[in-house]
Structures are given as structure tokens and as C-alpha cells.
Amino acid sequence: MSDNTPVAAPAPAFAGGTILGYPRIGRNRELKKALESFWKGTTTEADLEATAKELRAFTRGQMAGLGLAKDDSSIPSNFSFYDHVLDASVTFGAIPTRFKGLRAADGSVDLAGYSTIARGEGAHAPLEMTKWFDSNYHYLVPEIGPETVFALSSTRWVDEFVEAKDAGYLTRPVITGPLTYLHLAKPSDDAPHDFAPIERLDDLVAVYVELLGAFKAAGAEWVQIDEPVLVADIDAPHADLLSQAEHVYAALAAVEARPQILLAAPMGGLEDALPVIAASGVEGVALDLVRGTLPTDVDLAGLTVVAGVVDGHNIWRTDLDKALVKARAVAELGGAVTVGTSTSLFHVPHTLKGEEHLGAELLSWLAFADEKVAEVVTLATALREGDDAVADSLAEARAALADRAAHPGTNRADVRDRLAAVTPEDRDRTSYAVRAAAQEERFHLPELATTTIGSFPQTPEIRKARAAWAKGDLTDADYEQAMKDEIASVVELQEDLGLDVLVHGEAERNDMVQYFAELLDGFSVTKNGWVQSYGSRCTRPSILWGDVARPQPMTVRWATYAQSLSTKPVKGMLTGPVTILAWSFVRDDQPLAVTADQVGLALRDEVTDLEAAGIGIIQVDEPALRELLPLRRRDQAAYLEWSVGSFRLSTAGAKDDTQVHTHLCYSEFGEIIDAIDGLDADVTSIEAARSRMEVLPAIRSHGYERQIGPGVWDIHSPRIPSTQEMTELLTLAKESISGRQLWVNPDCGLKTRGYRETVASLENLVAATKAVR
């Protein structure tokens, strides 16, 4: 088929294009503000409902204004007050027993109750929060047991459909699918140890059947069911997942009174699950063709296929020509093709409007949610009417892409030549034994050395000073002095507490990635590019668009100032290459491995400068190392190789007697223990308090020769752990790891804690250490 030929019949649904979901937080973070003032008690539930209703109305209008059709289910309805997985739990009545009291007689919970499940209350821990696949979004983990009673317990999803319909929009409700829901769930506390939530599949499907009926009765013509679990390798055997998919979708397709089903599989390729879905009887499938590839041997005849060729997970302008080639290839498999995003757009900010400070050039390379909707509409038009119908848009996209490719900032000879000259030896240090001896001689640290992870509380005063400085109300010199005063007080506190290795406290960092992004070449920072991280929490990822280089030292003056105030060693503190990539929007025009190495080289220079300034202990944080782990097992080894390689490039220039630390903030250590070994850091700190040192026996049996600091204080909670409690944890740790290898530290940085808890907890930490030494 020539590029310029309209795709022939059959006509797909959503022929004008569709997206799998839109950001929920609001252009000006209206939802965040409304939630937080509701929680504070300054506004009522009715106020919160009203803001949410306005947001939904704005979103619908926005999507229609950008060209999605109002009357054919092209506009998704995917609002959530906090989290879409929590919404599913509440809708299915799957609320843990500790929150039973929050339910009304009909099983529903109001927004106060909903918030309590998300945030906890008193002795009632909230639902656990964890990362949504390999994204930066966190969902609330359902707790399912043999006793969980599934029953349709909320009318919200249907009400929101009706609200749109009454406003003149026939939308497509978006819900999390039963397979994804149950595979992401964890067994409830009272479940037998061999129970798996997926055992409850049939019971849950019965509620989906009822829900489909309710949508149909309300007039819905399509519903979107998201099943990203189908693109991942999960713990359960793959064959089981496929047969569950076959079983569930045959059952849902067999329901007589129901809307048509669009099964969406964002975040990767469906691969061998695609034929299963195609044969199940559902009417449509949405494929992620950005991350996934199209199988060639599958028959899609009779299906509407949403070709997800616009990246919902990143912020770059789409190569429309390439996207059209991919979409047209789908037509050859017999499907009725339309165009969509690869994932929901809630992973990207709302709009480029207001970001003009980025400069016309960079701006022209980007597409946030609104711009992506427009791209989808353009591509769908090209499919229907041929390329000529959108010739101007295609030309504009080509020009922007060519400009980006040729821009001096994306092709710096100095950066590229340096990287090309890197040898394998540049990633290697001397043997650990030699280093350990040199470091012992230099520092004479006690067994069970005490330290912290880097940040101390970010007080309102620090934030105020930074805001005033940004506004120009505080001079550079005054800001510098304010930060130095803060450093001095943090150093004094640590001396008083009797910690062995001190930190400067990171007062000057707005964020552990953005701080570096603002100082490195190749990055830009948005004004309002917020994306939801969880609930009301948003992050503003930096944009890594060009070749990365370090024009000047970034942390040296803070670290050396702190060191000048103490005779104890002060740890220098850097964010590692993988974490910088994971928490930014990263250029998609070269392999991540290359970008990571560029960052690695910039950090390597910082390490050298810190050393030269007398800093002998340097920590390179990699809390996101596990987060980017590919969803398909076969891709994981290659990922670990480059991620570990970039870390080593950043640290291997260190001298033998420089002690390199790293910090990883999770406890699922076992999964990537070889990689952690591969980092070759002298000291690694991890999260371990909540899991009560669970991972240490595994580390011991794996044989780990270097030093490790399993956290003894869960800093995610405002609780102050007692000396007794930390003594127990340390005693437990010593059963697996020798005192010579063991460090004592909290689970993570203290920036979100207050000073009262920080001082009391660190006092107890030092006391516990003395008790165990």
C-alpha cells in the first residue's frame, strides 16, 4: 500500500483517533489542591466533588476541541480522585477488613473514607503503594483473600459516564482489567500462606459482568479495559496467564447486554497474548506500538485496532511518517485500524502552553498531552484520507525532527569523542580487598559505623529561602549564606549525636535529580510540567534533550564547606546516572545506554573534583536502579549491563582510598543482587526496617564481601523507632552479616521528616549501635 492511499474499509471505531487516557491532575494541579484542602478540612466533600466535576468537563471540552469526536466513544473517561487501582478496589467492594467501618450500608465509601484507605489513619496502615509497571506512577496495592466479598459497590464510574452524556459527550469509560487487578494484588493479611489473589478470578469476573450491564443500561457503547499485565513477564507461569486471558475475555465477550470492549495493553507488546485476545470475541484491541512490535502472523480481521503509535510515556514530538508506516502495517493484518496513544497520557504533563521559556526550538521538538491528542487526530486523518489531507502537519513534524537531529546540542563532538575513547578499564577499580585496606588505613572507622543517607529535613525556612532566591528577592550571596548556615547546623547536630560519617544535608537541593539537571548541559526544566506520582503528589521531571556535559563542579563547594567544619569524614553526595535518567524525560533518539554513559562521565569528573578537594567518601545514589528493569525477562540482562556499566563509569575513577557508597531505596534486593554486586560500591545502603532485615540471609548465602547498611529506621513513617527496636534489628542483621561489614543508617534520606523526629530517632540509632557493638 502506498503511503498516500487511504486505508480502505472496514471502518474502525474511533475513526478520528483516540487516546487511552488523559492526565487527571489538572493543568494547574487543581485536583491536588482540592484534595489537600479537603484533607486539611478547609473545604468540604461537596467542594471537592465540584472541582472534580469542573475538571472532567474541562477535560472533555479540551479533547473535543483538539479534534476527538464527541459522539462515538473516542473520548476516554478516566478520571480518578487518587488512583485508578484504588477506584477498582472501591468499585468491587474489595476493601480490607481494617477499613470495613468506612463502608455505608450499600457498601460504598465516601471521599473521606476513600482518602483514609489511601492514606491510613491511626493504627490502620494505608494500602501499600508501589510502582505501576516500569513507570514513575504509584498505585495502591489491592489486598485480596479467600474471604474478600466482591460486589458492585460504587456507582461512580457509571455516574461519570452519565454526567458526560448529559453534557453531550458519548465517552468511553476506562477500567483496570481483572487480570491486571488480581496479579497486582497481594494476599490479605488473613489469607493462608499459599493463597494467590488470582484464585478469585471467577468471582471477580462476575462483578465485571454486572458492571458491563450497568454501563450498557446507561447507554455506553464502548468500554476500555486496561490489561498491561499482559505485556509483562510476571511471577506466575506465562501459560497460566494466557489461559486466564482466554477464559476471562471469552466470558466477558459472551455477556449479552454489554458495551463493546476495547482491550488496551499499554506498556509493551502483547506478543503471544494477541492471538488469544483477537480470538476472544472482544471488539477492539489497543496496541502499544511504541514499545511493542507487531506480530506478523496474527489475524485481526473483524477487530478495531487502535494503533498506539504516539508515545504516551514520553514527551517527544512524534515522527509522523514512521507512525503512519506502523499504523498501515496493522491494516495488512486485516484489522480496521485507527490511531491512538501507546499508553494513557497521565504519564506526561498537560500542555506546552506556558513553557515558552524553553525556547522555540526545544518547544518544537516536544509534545505534551494536548499536543499528542492533536498528533493522534492528524494521523487518523492521514489514515482515512491520505497524507495529502495533512500535508502541512507532516511537513512541520519533519522539519522539527530534522532540526532536532541536526542541532549542535544533540551532537557534541567533545562529548561523543570522549565517550568513544572509554575503555573497559575505565569502568574498573582495583580489587575490593586492596581498596578496603587502603580505606581502613585512611579512616579507621569503627565496626557498625553510623551514618545517614544524605538529606536532612527540608524545613519551611529552606524552601522559603530558595523561593525568594528564585524570585530575585534574595541575592546569590545571601542564598549561599543561608545554605551554609544550614549546613553548619546540620554538621553540628551530627557531631553532637556522635555519628561517624557525616553529610552536609542537601539543603541546597530542590530535588535530587533536578538539582543536577539544572547544572548540567543537555537538560531543560519546565515551569509547569507536572505529572502525577501518586495521589496528590506530583513531580516535575526535567527534560534530557541533548548531549550531557558538566560545565563546572556541582557539589564541591557545599561538601568542602561541611568538611571544613569537622574532623570526621563528610560524605559527598551525588545522584547516579540511572536515577537521573529514570526521573527525567529522556531523549529517545539514541539508546539509553549512551545517554547514561554521558551522565556517567559528567559524574566521574565530579568525583575527581570532590576527591581533589579532600572528600574521601562519596555516595552515588541509585534508588531507581530497579525501577527501569524491563517488563520482559529476556530484556533484563542487557538493561542491567548498561545500567551497572554507567554507574561504574561514574565511580571507577576513584582512588583506592576513596570509599564509594551507593544507596538503593527498596528491599527487593534479591531480584537484582548480581547487579548490586556488579556496582562494586564499597558500601551499599538499602531499605530494610519495614521488612525486618528479611533480605540479609539471602545476601549472606549469595556471598557478599563488601559492606552493607541495612536501614534500621523506616523514614516513610513519622514514628520514632525506639533504641530497643533498632537494637533488635541490628542483632538480627549481625546474624547474617559480620560487624566488620555492617553499617548503621536509616532506610532513606530525611528530607521529608521534621527535626524533632530526626533528632530523637538518630539518638536512638546511635544508642542502639553502642548496645550492639
Binding site for ligand MET (CB under 6 A): 453-455, 506, 512, 573, 621, 623, 663, 665, 748-749, 751
How far, CA to CA in Å, does 379 sit from each of 289, 375, 417? 14, 6, 38
371 assigned to a ligand binding site: no
| Closest distance to Zn ion from the beta carbon of 682 (Å) | 18
Residue 412: which of ligand MET, Zn ion, none does it interact with, CB under 5 to 8 A by kind?
none
| Closest distance to Zn ion from the beta carbon of 88 (Å) | 29
Residue 455: which of Zn ion, ligand MET, none does it interact with, CB under 5 to 8 A by kind?
ligand MET
566 assigned to a ligand binding site: no
CA distance 566 to 497: 13
Range 620-649, binding Zn ion (CB under 5 A): 623
Task: Let me know if 124 is a catalytic residue.
Answer: no
- Collect contacts of 2-6 with beta carbons under 8 A, ≥24 apart: 3/321, 3/324, 3/325, 3/328, 3/387, 4/386, 4/387, 4/388, 5/386, 6/383, 6/384, 6/385, 6/386
Residue 611: which of Zn ion, ligand MET, none does it interact with, CB under 5 to 8 A by kind?
none
Range 720-759, binding Zn ion (CB under 5 A): 748
- Alpha helix (H) residue ranges in 313-390: 320-331, 360-365, 369-385
| Closest distance to Zn ion from the beta carbon of 690 (Å) | 13
How far, CA to CA in Å, does 234 sit from each of 554, 625, 631, 633? 40, 19, 8, 9
| Closest distance to Zn ion from the beta carbon of 166 (Å) | 47
CA distance 320 to 397: 7
Residue closest to Zn ion when measured from CB atoms: 665
Strand pairing class (521-524; 659-664): unpaired
Residue 751: which of Zn ion, ligand MET, none does it interact with, CB under 5 to 8 A by kind?
ligand MET
138 assigned to a ligand binding site: no
Q: Which helix (H) or strand (E) holds 73?
A: none
454 assigned to a ligand binding site: yes
Residue 323: which of Zn ion, ligand MET, none does it interact with, CB under 5 to 8 A by kind?
none
372 assigned to a ligand binding site: no
Choose the stretch contacting Zn ion; rule: CB under 5 A; options: 190-198, 455-463, 503-511, 616-624: 616-624
Residue 259: which of Zn ion, ligand MET, none does it interact with, CB under 5 to 8 A by kind?
none
Residue closest to ligand MET when measured from CB atoms: 749
How far, CA to CA in Å, does 345 sit from each of 223, 226, 379? 17, 13, 17
Choose the stretch contacting Zn ion; rule: CB under 5 A; options: 248-256, 510-518, 575-583, 615-623: 615-623
| Closest distance to Zn ion from the beta carbon of 582 (Å) | 13
| Closest distance to ligand MET from the beta carbon of 574 (Å) | 9
Residue 288: which of ligand MET, Zn ion, none does it interact with, CB under 5 to 8 A by kind?
none
- Annotated active-site residue in 124, 247, 407, 716: 716
687 assigned to a ligand binding site: yes
32 assigned to a ligand binding site: yes
How far, CA to CA in Å, does 686 sit from each of 5, 630, 691, 692? 57, 21, 11, 12
Helix, strand, coil tally for the chain in percent (to 5): 45, 15, 40
What is residue 742's DSSP assignment?
B
Of 771, 773, 766, the residue nearest 712 (C-alpha):
766
621 assigned to a ligand binding site: yes
CA distance 439 to 363: 48
- Residue whose cell numbers read 567544619: 565
Choose the stretch contacting Zn ion; rule: CB under 5 A; options: 394-402, 665-673, 708-716, 764-772: 665-673
Choose the stretch contacting Zn ion; rule: CB under 5 A; options: 152-160, 239-247, 478-486, 660-668: 660-668
CA distance 287 to 266: 7
| Closest distance to Zn ion from the beta carbon of 33 (Å) | 27
Positive or negative, the CA dihedral 652, 673, 668, 640 is positive
What is residue 10's DSSP assignment?
S
* Closer by beta carbon to Zn ion, 118 or else 665: 665
537 assigned to a ligand binding site: yes
Give the orientation angle of helix 201-218 with respect to helix 156-166, to 10 degrees: 20
CA distance 639 to 621: 18
453 assigned to a ligand binding site: yes
Residue 512: which of ligand MET, Zn ion, none does it interact with, CB under 5 to 8 A by kind?
ligand MET
According to CB under 5 A, which one of 267, 665, 676, 772 is a site residue for Zn ion? 665
DSSP annotation string for 199-263:
GGHHHHHHHHHHHHHHHHHHT-SEEEEE-GGGGS--SS-HHHHHHHHHHHHHHHHT-SS--EEEE
How many chain residues interact with Zn ion (CB under 5 A)?
Answer: 3
C-alpha triplet 297, 298, 300: angle, nearest 5°: 145
CA distance 415 to 306: 40
φ, ψ dihedrals at 91, nearest 5°: -65, -35
| Closest distance to ligand MET from the beta carbon of 675 (Å) | 17
722 assigned to a ligand binding site: no
* Closer by beta carbon to ligand MET, 168 or else 754: 754
| Closest distance to ligand MET from the beta carbon of 748 (Å) | 5
Q: How many beta carbons lie within 10 A of that of residue 446, not counting itself?
A: 11
* Closer by beta carbon to ligand MET, 378 or else 455: 455
Choose the stretch contacting Zn ion; rule: CB under 5 A; options: 238-246, 596-604, 612-620, 664-672: 664-672
Residue 753: which of ligand MET, Zn ion, none does it interact with, CB under 5 to 8 A by kind?
none
Catalytic positions, please?
716
Annotated binding site for L-homocysteine: 453-455, 621
Annotated binding site: 32, 136, 453-455, 506, 537-538, 583, 621, 663, 665, 687, 748
Annotated binding site for Zn(2+): 663, 665, 687, 748
* Residues near Zn ion (CB under 5 A): 623, 665, 748
